Amino acid sequence: MIIRTAIIEDLPILLDFEQKIIEAERPMDPTLIQNKKISYYSVKDYILSDHTEVVVAEIEGEIVGSGYGQIRDRKNFFKQKQLGYIGFMYVKDQHRGKGVSQKIIKYLCDWFASKNLEEIRLTVYDQNPRAIRAYEKVGFKKHLIEMRVNLKDTN
């Protein structure tokens, strides 16, 4: 398995991965538009950006996973002015459980370290215990809980 920086030629498969992520997350998030195609990421812009590292995992020449690391500015009351953010994590079904996401995260952590960043964050749905376990395996810990209410549901 190799982890490498994504190139523009990878865009079609990466856009397919994005739709698979959305398909998996729609049942977990009633606030998402459910009945038409949506997009989470500007994958092409991310590939071309110097503050975002889009990576793919390849096994025998086949792209089987993806992720991105993005340098984000923080508000001035934090100790560090920037942090790393990980998103767009996807691994094809038949390659799950083989350490693909761990290798992608390790690659991104090394990239963040090369940019002198110390803190990395990500978000994951509470209803996605498999992903939570995968992130915990590589050292992530729960930090904040985001809560929501739909006022139409409370009446």
Average pLDDT over residues 49-57: 97
Question: Is the Cα torsion angle 92, 2, 51, 45 positive or negative in sign?
Answer: negative
For the cut 70, the answer to whether the pLDDT of residue 40 exceeds it is yes
For the cut 90, the answer to whether the pLDDT of residue 76 exceeds it is yes
pTM above 0.75, yes or no: yes
pLDDT tens figures, 15-36: 999 999 999 999 999 999 999 9
For the cut 70, the answer to whether the pLDDT of residue 63 exceeds it is yes
The pLDDT score that the predictor gives to residue 155 is 64
